[in-house]
Amino acid sequence: MTFSKMLAVLTALVVAMAWASSASAVKYLSLGDAVKKFLPADAKVLKVTKVPSADDRRRLLDDYGWEATEPEYVAFKGVDKADETKALGYVFVVPEIFNTCFHKYAVGVAPDGKILESVIIELTCPRSFPINKKAFLKQFKDKTHADPLTTRVDIDGITGASLSSEAASTAARKAVSLHNVFFGGNAKVVVDEKVKAGRAAGAAKIKKAIETGETLKKAGKDGAAQLPPEEGESAK
């Protein structure tokens, strides 16, 4: 093969790979638009970085069922321009990743800790696309850190996208728990055993998908965002 032909083949491969990558990822909102969506137009937007203490990390795991592994967390805080001590709202951008599946959510939270709305910024798994529906996402409105926020208890998942449904629920739970710990007075919450078990079961299914490579075994229109239900368990 001549050099020119080899170059042409390599160029074609690069173009094909780039097309495949862009075709599998759908970006719904830019970060800037996501922040603007939840904060008043006249608000001053502050980017706030918080570093959880060891106690914060233990609490996020024990009370909210997720492990805070990042060294720091970022929130966008809208404040009154005339009085920066007056918070007008918060936006948390939360990624959820398992193998080839990448989700990114923007969760708007009111000063009192209630979710205004959860919107999707980006999805890469074709089978996760059904979660970007108002009928599913509207379930998160008005939820707080005291709610279970898992498909095993208070959120109805979507058939065929059960892992993605749980990932969306976890993202919302992360947002309201971070709000409570860092901005909401760190109010205590009592978590009953049913909620703990539901959250643990949802997290275990995502972990299993990662460890078994289940999400890597499907591609194209069959791109994975779920595992089959366990025996005796109905899919949501």
Q: Indicate whether 14 pLDDT > 80.
A: no
Q: How far apart are CA 149 and CA 134, in angstroms?
A: 17
Looking at the DSSP bridge assignments, the partners of residue 102 are 97
DSSP-based three-state secondary structure for 190:
coil
Of residues 24 and 36, more confidently modeled: 36
Of residues 228 and 140, more confidently modeled: 140
**Buried-state track 21-39, b at ≥16 Cβ within 10 A, e below 16:** eeebebeebeeeebbbebb
Q: In residues, how long is the chain?
A: 236
Pairing of strands 44-50, 73-80: antiparallel
Mean pLDDT of 25-43: 89
Q: How far apart are CA 107 and CA 94, in angstroms?
A: 8
What is the per-residue pLDDT for 1? 53
pTM: 0.81
Amino acid at 167: A
User: What does the pLDDT look like over 80-121, one tens digit per residue?
Assistant: 999 999 999 999 999 988 766 889 999 999 999 999 999 999
Amino acid at 215: T
- CA distances (Å), 27 to each of 4, 20, 22, 125, in order? 36, 14, 9, 12
What is the per-residue pLDDT for 80? 97
Amino acid at 217: K
Report yes or no: 225 and 215 within 8 Å, Cβ to Cβ: yes
Query: Pick from 37, 32, 31: which is nearest to 121 by CA?
Result: 31
Domain boundaries, the chain: 26-222
When the pLDDT of each residue in the chain is averaged and rounded to a whole number, the result is: 83
What is the per-residue pLDDT for 57? 98
User: What does the pLDDT look like over 138-187, one tens digit per residue?
Assistant: 999 999 999 999 999 999 999 989 989 999 999 999 999 999 999 999 99
User: What does the pLDDT look like over 48-63, one tens digit per residue?
Assistant: 999 999 999 999 999 9
Q: Which stretch of 8-12, 131-135, 138-142, 149-153 has the lowest confidence by average pLDDT?
A: 8-12
Of residues 106 and 18, more confidently modeled: 106
